[in-house]
Structure 1
């Protein structure tokens, strides 16, 4: 069977996009377009993609964040899963800046929720607090980008666990 050059290129692009994705077992959910991401990262950390694997009460979240990290003086220091009432369900502490790795993805868990529990996933910056670009959804239906007031459940900035410093 002969393939034309254009058919070969299409197959190659599809194969590369498949192979370059994370090795998570769950399908990745919808992410933000690059232009949209750039519009929302002015001085704050923003969630740009979320994928989930696991089972009820044992989910692992992989969260992609875009942030204007400059080093330990300015960096995204955690991402968290909260319910729609503003209760902290899980927080993934980020122990260092990601100056040369933007956007970056970090996984965390287990997150003890059911597949139908609706949650927000948001990021926090050590200097500017929460970003307004979050993802909202459920494990069963997926997560989509949404804007959330940076004042929503802002008191969680004082809730444990808290970051204890920046490695680099």
Structure 2
């Protein structure tokens, strides 16, 4: 019994730093983070995404420079380029409209990137069939 307890104790010391490092990295504002999405379906069936991004913009050398709408397989459905730093506007919201999404697609993922670290791992998955969820709100066109 003592041998098993000692093994469990040693295992927790070895594993814990990796878990903490992973959580710290994903929460770092050095990586672009999607914090909220408002998805609105237009009369023509296309979608508009108002996406809030949070990042530690530091001028032209390091800033959030894009965000994307993806299906669950990782196919890009739309991309919004961000053409300048937002040092004094954090978090900030930008829109991308006329995104064509097949009617049978139920969920999309919104992710952001910066010009230094690439794609961040804090994304928002939007359930297009739900009105609200963790980090999103949806307004559907009811024709």
TM-score (norm 2): 0.68
Query: Compared with structure 1, are the counterparts of its residues 65 and 78 closer, same or farther at alpha carbon in structure 2 (3 Å cutoff)?
Result: same
Native 8 Å contact 1:116 1:138 kept in 2: no
Is 1:144 the counterpart of 2:131? The answer is: no
Pick aligned residue for 2:90 from 96, 102, 105: 102
Is 1:58 the counterpart of 2:46? The answer is: yes
Pick aligned residue for 2:113 from 91, 116, 124: 124
d(CA) in 1 for partners of 2:36 and 2:79?
A: 16
Unaligned regions of 5+ residues in structure 1, if any?
1-38, 146-168
Is 1:41 the counterpart of 2:61? The answer is: no
SS in structure 2 at match of 1:69: coil
Native 8 Å contact 2:106 2:127 kept in 1: yes
Native 8 Å contact 2:29 2:54 kept in 1: no
d(CA) in 2 for partners of 1:44 and 1:51?
A: 21
1:79-128: CA deviation from partner (whole Å, max 9, x where unpaired): 00011111111000001000000000000121111375311100011000
d(CA) in 1 for partners of 2:29 and 2:85?
A: 17
| Correspondence for 1:77 | 65
Native 8 Å contact 1:135 1:143 kept in 2: no
Native 8 Å contact 1:115 1:140 kept in 2: no
* Larger relative contact order, structure 1 or 2 (CA cutoff 8 Å, min sep 6): 2
d(CA) in 2 for partners of 1:115 and 1:96?
A: 35
Native 8 Å contact 1:43 1:67 kept in 2: yes
Residue 138 of structure 1, CA deviation: 2.3
**Deviation above 6 Å: which 4+ runs of structure 1?**
none
TM-score (norm 1): 0.59
Instruction: State the aligned residue count.
Output: 108
User: How well do the aligned residues superpose, as a CA RMSD in angstroms?
Assistant: 2.1
Unaligned regions of 5+ residues in structure 2, if any?
1-25, 136-143
- Structure with max Cα Rg: 2
